[in-house]
């Protein structure tokens, strides 16, 4: 059976040991969990002004991964925290353009960490630029209060591996929270789209091989892409 082809928009990196120079990257564990869930992970280059009709031919689903911070100008603010890092306007513009395209076309989409933040911004929302207590290197149980079945979850609780210092503030149009952290931070959302469309603030790739719920979420996304 042919694996559904999952496009992962690559992230820019200033340098990597393997390339010696600037690179585009996809986290190895992210690609591996897509593969483990039955998908074929494919990294794609962020290119401004892309014709997504052409570039996504043969693609069954889109995964928007984690990454660096979004330029606050994208949600009507200036940089107000020294913690905002690695802003790249090309990356932001391509991310926003792609998620808007995906929602408009009803292509199955899973957003992770920055991916969830960029989707919220693309839909008119805003972010907290730096949390008083960042969720970095934190694993917490998160209760999913809605759509657990669509996410492939046998139970409502997932051990979420978090690594973020920003969070959703004002919700974008059609963005509905379905899980909150103990301190009220939005940890999972559903999007108003014709296709399967969910986002998590945590990183399911971190512990998918020890936390069945995280593999289940990615598998639900891959299965929806296969259809």
185 dihedral zone (left: phi>0; alpha: psi -120 to 50; beta)? beta
- Which entry of 135, 162, 187, 203 is annotated as an active-site residue? 203
Is residue 11 within 8 A of residue 115, CB to CB? The reply is no
Out of 135, 164, 187, 205, pick the active-site residue: 205
Q: Which helix (H) or strand (E) holds 35?
A: helix 28-36
CB count in 10 Å sphere of residue 37: 25
Our answer to whether residue 135 is catalytic in this structure is no
Residue 162 annotated as catalytic = no
> Which entry of 113, 135, 162, 164 is annotated as an active-site residue?
113
The pair of structure tokens assigned to 98 is: 């792609």
Strands (E), 75-184: 109-112, 127-128, 135-144, 157-164, 167-168, 175-180
Whether the CB-CB separation of 195 and 224 falls below 8 Å is answered with yes
Could you give the residue ranges of the DSSP H alpha helices within 7-164? 28-36, 52-55, 89-105, 114-122
Distances 77 to 70, 118, 121, 133 between C-alpha atoms, Å: 11, 15, 12, 21
- Which residues does the annotation mark as catalytic? 113, 203, 205
């Amino acid at each position: 059976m042919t694996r559904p082809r999952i496009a992962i928009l690559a992230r820019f990196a200033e340098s990597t040991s393997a390339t010696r120079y600037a690179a585009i990257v996809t986290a190895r564990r992210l690609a591996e969990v897509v593969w483990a869930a039955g998908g074929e992970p494919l990294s794609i280059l962020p290119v401004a002004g892309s014709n997504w009709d052409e570039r996504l031919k043969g693609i069954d689903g889109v995964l928007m991964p984690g990454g660096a911070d979004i330029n606050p100008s994208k949600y009507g603010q200036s940089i107000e925290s020294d913690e905002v890092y690695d802003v790249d306007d090309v990356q932001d513009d391509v991310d926003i353009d792609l998620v808007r395209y995906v929602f408009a076309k009803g292509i199955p989409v899973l957003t992770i960490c920055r991916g969830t933040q960029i989707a919220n911004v693309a839909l008119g929302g805003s972010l907290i630029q730096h949390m008083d207590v960042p969720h970095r290197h934190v694993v917490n149980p998160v209760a999913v209060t809605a759509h657990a079945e669509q996410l492939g979850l046998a139970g409502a609780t997932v051990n979420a591996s978090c690594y973020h210092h920003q969070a959703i503030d004002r919700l974008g149009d059609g963005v509905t929270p379905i899980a909150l952290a103990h301190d009220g931070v939005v940890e999972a959302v559903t999007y108003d789209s014709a296709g399967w469309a969910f986002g998590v603030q945590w990183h399911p790739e971190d512990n998918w091989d020890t936390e069945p719920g995280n593999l289940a979420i990615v598998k639900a996304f891959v299965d929806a892409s296969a259809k």
